[in-house]
Structure 1
Amino acid sequence: MGRPVPYIEADGLPLVRPYVIAWEREQEQRRQRERRRAAVLATLGQDYPAGVTA
């Protein structure tokens, strides 16, 4: 068996809706901002509760 593909194609077009992909990208961007915020605060000696958004 080959490697599984992240999506199924039908007639060359992916079956994943664009808004789903956009939502996933937005979520990853939010997680990245949280990681960056935690890193900056850590350099200042402040704790940042992981997973809690302001």
Structure 2
Amino acid sequence: MGVKLEIFRMIIYLTFPVAMFWVSNQAEWFEDDVIQRKRELWPPEKFLGAE
């Protein structure tokens, strides 16, 4: 079972980083969270001069 185990491990070792890279580059998945975080850090009214 040594060869089958090594093939399985190699598939996992190659699939995981590729999958993480693909997920992290899906902008539409994170767009709402990023926009919300930017609004928390820099509120829009701060730049409009309304204090």
TM-score (structure 2 length as normaliser):
0.43
Structure ranking higher in helix proportion: 2
Higher relative contact order at CA 8 Å, sep ≥6: structure 1 or structure 2? 1
Structure ranking higher in strand proportion: 1
TM-score (structure 1 length as normaliser):
0.42
